[in-house]
């Protein structure tokens, strides 16, 4: 089997965090996001991975290389202009030789892909879509199935009175190569609106596997922060926690709780407190700063007595002394917050 990860989006919903970092490699608890999806693929004994790229592709290639460091073989297909989910799959046709697992590039989950693959093969399916239940399906597109798990209908953003089920497209598919025949070459085309309706119309064996476990779309800043907190809390266990020792520049009085991840290259001054947070490389945390339930990207400086609670701080930011930032605030790279400011 092969795998294709659709990693070409600009990450507009995740801005400003994706202005200089492509969404597929924004870090989640110390690891580039794509590595979580690659780990899922590896657990299903799939080693041939194709990355479909468009936005800042070189940064992604520089990070992952040929995949050797991660136990897979990575190939790349770069779109000159966005082709949509199915168009990207068609663009990779020259590399697709067999059954392919397809991931949207913004889905964090610990689903057992071995079970999905088994489900697909037992039914001799042309396509299998993974569904996940949500509390409020009106914000998504519903997918209806029958008693044998065959897909019956797609309903995009239904009104409350139109809701017939709570299962939505989880952004994971298993596709046989003949699905390529339903996709025009070189044109923007979507699975949801183009390919899947054709499969239904023509009566192809099209099934749905429902996953009730952990699933999160990391596409917004709020969801990105929550994903980091979920990994810290052990709600999704795919990659090992970075095995960091206390750094040489950590003052002896610094308090770091057991759930936090703090890169040892950082400088932490006297009385600093890090609680349930992720602090990336080369950050400088001044005395008596308190960081809780937050993500601080590399190279940022947090001033003396500053308090951060439930925020995301981009790369190379400067937070002044006695600043208070809370309640989901998001700072883009190189932001500057002057002394005694309050935000959030």
What φ, ψ does residue 96 adopt, rounded to 5°?
-90, 120
**Between these two residues, 8 and 204, which has the higher pLDDT value?**
204
Residue 235: predicted pLDDT? 92
Give strand pairing partners of 4.
Answer: 50, 102
Per-residue pLDDT tens for 236-279? 988 888 767 788 899 999 999 999 999 999 999 999 999 999 99
Per-domain boundaries in the chain: 2-232, 255-343
The domain made up of 255-343 is a member of CATH 3.30.70.260:
no
And the tokens for 331? 């700072």
Identify the weakest region by mean pLDDT among 60-69, 135-144, 189-198: 135-144
Q: Computed from CA positions of residues 71, 75, 80, 86, in that sequence, does the dihedral angle turn out positive or negative?
A: negative
Kindly state the average pLDDT of the residues 295-300: 95
Q: Residue 244: what pLDDT?
A: 72
Say which CATH architecture domain 2-232 belongs to: Alpha-Beta Complex (3.90)
User: Residue 3 pLDDT > 80, yes or no?
Assistant: yes
| Mean of per-residue pLDDT scores for the chain | 91
Catalytic residues: 157
Per-residue pLDDT tens over the stretch 220-246: 899 999 999 999 999 998 888 876 778
Check pLDDT > 80 for residue 10. no
Strands in 301-302's sheet, in edge-to-edge order, are 267-268, 284-285, 301-302, 318-319, 336-337
- Gap between the Cα atoms of 207 and 169, Å rounded: 12
In degrees, rounded to 5, the angle at the alpha carbon of residue 258 between the alpha carbons of residues 256 and 263 is 60
């Amino acid at each position: 089997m092969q795998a294709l990860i659709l990693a070409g989006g600009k990450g507009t919903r995740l801005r400003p965090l994706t202005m200089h970092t492509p969404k597929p490699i924004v870090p989640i608890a110390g690891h580039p996001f794509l590595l979580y999806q690659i780990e899922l693929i590896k657990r299903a004994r799939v080693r041939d991975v194709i990355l479909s790229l468009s936005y800042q592709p070189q940064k992604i290639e520089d990070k992952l290389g040929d995949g050797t460091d991660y136990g897979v073989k990575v190939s790349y297909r770069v779109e000159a202009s966005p082709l949509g989910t199915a168009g990207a799959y068609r663009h990779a046709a020259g590399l697709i030789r067999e059954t392919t697992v397809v991931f949207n590039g913004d889905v964090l989950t610990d689903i057992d892909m071995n079970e999905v693959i088994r489900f697909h093969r037992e039914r001799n399916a042309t396509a299998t879509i993974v569904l996940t239940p949500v509390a409020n399906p009106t914000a998504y597109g519903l997918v209806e199935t029958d008693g044998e798990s065959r897909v019956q209908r797609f309903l995009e953003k239904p009104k409350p009175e139109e809701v017939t089920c709570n299962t939505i497209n989880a952004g994971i598919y298993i596709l046989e190569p003949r699905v390529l025949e339903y996709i025009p070459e070189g044109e923007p085309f979507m699975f949801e609106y183009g390919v899947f309706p054709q499969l239904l119309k023509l009566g192809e064996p099209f099934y749905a596997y429902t996953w009730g476990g952990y699933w999160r779309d990391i596409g917004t800043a709020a969801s990105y922060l929550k994903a980091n907190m979920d990994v810290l809390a052990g709600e999704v266990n795919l990659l090992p926690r970075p095995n960091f020792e206390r750094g040489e520049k950590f003052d002896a009085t610094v308090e770091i709780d057991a759930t936090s991840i703090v890169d040892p290259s950082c400088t932490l001054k006297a009385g600093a407190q890090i609680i349930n947070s992720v602090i990336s490389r080369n950050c400088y945390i001044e005395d008596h700063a308190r960081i809780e339930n937050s993500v601080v990207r590399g190279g940022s400086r947090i001033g003396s007595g500053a308090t951060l609670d439930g925020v995301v701080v981009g790369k190379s930011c400067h937070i002044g002394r006695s600043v208070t930032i809370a309640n989901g605030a998001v700072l883009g790279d190189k932001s500057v917050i002057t002394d005694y400011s309050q935000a959030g």
